[in-house]
Structure 1
Amino acid sequence: MKKIILAFVLVLAFLQPYMLVAQDLLKSQNLSAVIVDNLKDTDILKIKAQLKANNLSIDQAETMALSKGMSATEFGKLKLRLQEENQEQVLTKSEPLSFQEGRVKEKAAAGKVKDTTIARIFGTELFDNPTLNFEPDLKLATPVNYVLGPGDELQVAIYGVQEYSGSLAVSPEGKVSIPYVGQLYVSGMTVEAATAKIKGAVAKVYSTVRNGQSTLSVSLGRIRTIKITVIGGKQPGNYSVSSLGTVYHALHLAGGPGINGSFRNIELIRNNKLLRNIDLYRFLVSGNASDNIGLKDNDVIRIPSYSNRVTIEGEVKRAGIFELKSGESFKDLLRYASGFTDMAYTASVQVLQKTAKELKVEDIKSSSFGSYLPKTGDFFKVAEILNRFENKIAIQGAVFRPSIYSFYSGMRVMDLIKLAEGLKEDAYLKRARISRLKSDLTTEVISIALDQALNNQNQANILLQKDDEVTIYSVNDFVEDYVVTIEGEIKKPGAYAYLENLTLNDLLIEAGGLKDAASKRVEIARMKKAEEIDDKDLNRVELIQLDIDPKSNEQLTNFSLQPFDVVTIRRIGLYEKPQTVSVEGAVAYPGKYVISTKNETIYDVISRAGGLLSKANIFGVKVIRSIKQKQINDLKRVNTGDESNKEELKDIIAQNLNQTIIPIDWDQIEKDPRHRSNIVLQAGDKIQVADYDGSVKVSGNVVLMSEIPFHKGKGFAYYFNAVGGVDDKGWKKKSYIVYPNGKAATTSSFLFFTSYPKVIAGSQIIVPEKPERQKMTTGEWVSIGSVITSLALLVVTAFK
């Protein structure tokens, strides 16, 4: 019994790796002993389901399996079987009087590894593209010339008076077995011939088929798998392919030719005889797929090494490495490379050749493209055309069509002006300029009298040369750009172009008209011009005072302006729009109030608001005032002293100080309205009157932050005790209080005495945190000891 148990344990241990793989490939920790050949098809299906459930591809699972000890060879086998499983379609058994739709084939697959080492060789993209696999289409009609063999399956159907449906598999002996008819030999026959033979045999049994009352049809169901061999590919070996498979499909399974394999002379060998030489360039260049013939069992595809490979780079549409046959010229190479690009230099092409000892360079003229026969290893470089023109001439300036034109021998200045459709009206006729490039590539300027050239005087209408640039000046080029400026109470102040006869009325209209605040006074500042300087005249400009009608843009006195005049529209003496302040909180009539006088105070506005309510806290009145933009800009210009985060600190200052709180002592104001707290209000001020709050809030570094009921006469110590005291980090001596009106008071210390501020209802006591003190290091203590020792020695020495 013990021996049986031991044997069972050994068998279990031997099978454990396979069981682990079959049960859970992802969770197994040791896959070193896995042998894929021992796995069943059901195990492969389980692994496939695991990968699908975890959303993993076969390639992603490879790294994980190798890290757990699985050999690369075994994973290659596993990958192959998983791919075969993906390609396999399950054929359900045909029931009587039913027909199997569609066509399936047996397992036929091979792993494919993408190789980037030969990506520049023309044609490799044909085999690196996963969407271009040349697999036979199983949905096509059954080819009548298809030759049957063992492994094929025929679908036979009889319909009409008598009915029958069944699948007939071709046995290894080449026969099919038909119920009540017998066995028929069909191997080696075409589908068409087999159909006629089956029909004749069935007609002997089924009389309705013989007399035409029933019809018999035969189609190809399951397609057999054939074995072929590929030699010289990136993945040479034996492959199982569909019996409908073709040469290109087999080459794709093998990854195409290897790094030294030929694309032009691939051999298809059948029955030990060369059947066909396959040239892939026929398909790649012209789309001719005549070489993609069907395969048969035991076919051999042999890919020999290349004989002649050359490289072409530069300005061609498809640069790379190409294979040439004997007798093919550089013109053929250009055709394979899809020809020159638009910017290619086509007069000649440079080729770098290899001799027996060294390299040499040769230039191939365009006339020799069809006769030059490239040699293996040649490197062709197609250059770019020069960035220059052989017949360019240009004209710019005061002509109707300034541009680049075609130069011809004998062209003169007037000929070029006519091509540009003549001179503009503003052309300057006294002088034109020609910029000419000399033979040493320096530039010279030639001036001509344009008015003489117009009269066809050859001395001025000179001959032009290639690359000349003719410039026709405009009279406006010599005129200064004049402006006038208008400022003040005008809708669109700014500088405007001065035009001849421009008047004040014209400028007022162009600037959008006068504002409602414009006064009748207008000041015009005019520049002074003189040939000589008068030291006695201290005026820098001439000031002109005008009176206008501020209600009209059309003035009775239409004053003429001059270049660079500055017009200022003055503001009327009193022009202020109503401005408001707001009152919030415990007052009878909160809301916005218009400032009625220049010195209206907070007492005046609160009185207009009906005064404070009984629930108001007289110590909780404050004014919130917005800081003006100028003050914010001034804050941003503050020197913070920290250059590392200077800008950040400035932004923080500006954001936190965009408004300020003014505490108000309302108790004193009620006693004496002339008290300093009775401030004069500004536009936009917000008056806040807080409700009475009968508690004191204690926060900061205390044991328990809380609000304590106000106890009249009690100080800081009472409220500290009420919240459990100050915590370890609390700085009691620096505690402070914030009153309801926004005013703050700090704790003061003198010698051993500490004075705390008065506490009132609604206040907030805050205990700050103690600053961290950095402990002195051992080295610092040693330094201090050394200094003290030195001082002691000095003192002792001094008293000796």
Structure 2
Amino acid sequence: MHVVLRKFITWGVALSISLVGLGMLSQNAEAQQITQAQIEQFRQLPRAQQEALARQYGIDLSMLEGQAGSNTEARQDPATVEARELSDTQSDYEGERTGSRTDRERETEAEVKPFGYNVFAGRPTTFAPVNNAPVPGSYRLGVGDTVMVQLYGQESISHSLVVDREGRITIPRLGPLTVAGLSYNELKELVRNQVSTRMIGMQAAVSMGELRSMQIFVLGEAYQPGAYTVSSLTTISQALFASGGVTEIASLRDIRLMRAGEMVTGFDLYDLLIRGDASKDRILQPGDAVFIPARGPMVKISGEVVRPAIYELTGNESLDDVIQLAGGLLPSAYPDAVQLHRADRGQRSLRTLDVSSQSALSLAMQGGDEIRVPRISEVIDNSVSIVGAATRTGSYEWRSGIKISDFVKSPTQDLQADADLNYGLVIREDQQTREMTVLQFDVASALRGDMEHDLRLQPRDQVMFFSRFEKEYRRALAGYGQYASNPEEVRPVEDGEEAEQRHEQQFEQDSEAQPIRTVRESEYTPNSRTRLLRSVLARLSSQESSDASALFVRISGEARFPGNYPLVENGSVADLIAAAGGLKESAYLARAEITRTLIDGGNAMTDYLSFNLLDAITGVERVDIRARDHLSVFRIPEWQDTVQVELTGEVMFPGSYSVRRGETLIDVVERAGGLTQHAYPPGAVFTREEVKEQERQRVAQLARNLRQELASISLTEGSRVGNYEELNSLLSDLQGTEPVGRMVVNLESILAGDRAQDLTLRDGDSLYIPNQLNTVSIIGEVQMPTTYRYEQRYSVSDYLARSGGTKRRADEERMFIIRANGEIEPYHQQRGWFASSGRMQLEPGDTIVVPLDSTYREPTQVWATSTQIIYQLAVAAAAIARL
């Protein structure tokens, strides 16, 4: 008795301390200091004593009553399985299913993988049991299970009762009850009956608390076979997850539940994975073993099915069963020619099956079979395609008797604003020979219903509408470049001219700013002849043979869009000119010429056919064209495009002048009223675009040479850093130098009537006449480069002395004078008795240049040449800058 009392006092002290801690920490909800066993003992005290203790220590009694339930409900199960990588041979079905149909089409047969293995691909991290899963009514109680009993009625009492080793729970004031082996539903019924019968005025609510753990075995082809401690609610599939899934050779269709050496049930995982049927996913019992045998025969299905994969057979599947395992055929599948590859008696065989028939679907499958479901053809036979400059392009249904005007009724509603109303094509393919023929029509006439041009269409015809403009006018090219490609390649359009005045103006502006260069594909309009005809011409070129020439023709000269075009049926010169966008204003209408190649007796002969171009266009004379004909449209004799020349500076009427071919510099100066009285003809600056381009190319070549010098210096062991830095600085100066294009002219001699000094003008030429100059400049390697007032009595040496003399790196042996008109004269210092008589006479506007000694560091010819060019361009640019 004393021992019991001493234990109770000891427990009371411990409980009091815990309750004090609970009271102090109740604000932070930290009640973990009281164990579950202490709470249960507290609940066994009479209600009055519970309330007294709660009042004494300031504890909310409801907190203790809900402690056990909250511990169970709030507990979060730790993760027991984490993902692991699959081997290349295992299934990647999820990725395939979420991929697009186009991605699946690009997959090779080797990428089709076994089905279902990735679902159970995990790596076990802990053996913690699952505690928050709902308990089914059929669950059998065992030793270690916790039963929660809530009594309510006259008073409210909660009990957390653990099934002891004898299979019983003890309810205070009610006594022990044997519950081991009962189902959860039977337990609830038993407790409710006992409470209502033996405790007057009381009723009971029963639930399950923490469930017991048990040991089971996962054996065979498991990822990590062995014994596992799991929750008593664990099923076959959960055991597979806990063991990390299965190996690459495991069977998914013959999972066996073994109990006491006997097979309890088999589990086909395909039922769960494909149909979601978990009826055979049994709850395990302590000591059960989940056995995973090696997989059985496999069959592979690929192509146009929902789930292409490798599937396991159970031994009696038919072709229809395999197709259903793969989710069935896609709408794009072609069922009439399904291929079955089979290995039989050491040989491979192939069968083509029509799976729309029952006999083919009932064919029994064998291990190693490969089924390939092909895709239907993408070609739509009963369609007509509209491409190009139409507002609604795409494919449309073909009907008998349909015409072009049935698709395009209004030029404003059905065609784009830039559509060419004079030229359209129908691309037609022969159904038997697959050869292409081309028909041409006038779009405007077709819209009016003209039977000659409103062509009747056939299935798979392609109707093309073109833009009036060949190139994007905002990115118009300088000059008329040729389309960049192999000379032997068929080139549809080589050059072009804008059709409307605003495009021509933009073209001229861009031409002045850019050099002649190659036309890029991106600079053509989306519906240009170049872009739309490229594939057509390539197809026609591929039809060329020894029996037939390639069906395209060529037009050059004064056409708006010269180049290669398809030869249309019954084509004429008028058709070809319409295809080329018409003629330029400069076209010579009295005569044109066709160059034709004839084959006679195995020899090729060239024939020339001249005709009146105006008659051919107006229909007075029909001139037919043949394959590979070349139509040349000549320019009007003496026709010259507008040539503009710019006169600025000291002329009576400066401005831009249009000149005729053959006019010279003196002619345009006289038209400008001559020079003013302040003009200084020796300092005239004449520039030409061609010379500017030559300067640009020369500077670019020198820059490349300098880069090579830099690379050589950087790779040479022991090179001086100073050489590299100076060359790099020179390269930067050279790259920043803008070409001027100055030509040396002797304007004084030209004005004096010396025709030998005069020159014929070209487009873009410019003449600048400065006013009276009275200065001499000195630049380069001098102490103070500057400009001085010209004094006739001063020599070169005098100006050098006034600039502080030359620097240490100056090359005095290569000094030169740039005259006001751009001429260059070398200067050689005269020393000794004859220095005064042999000195060079300077003139107003001259520039003394003291170059850098190229041998000062590392000798390089590129250095000397580059510095001289920079000085020349700088002087010319300074002269023009006076404008």
TM-score range, shorter chain: 0.3 to 0.5
Higher helix share: 2
TM-score with structure 1 length normalisation?
0.47
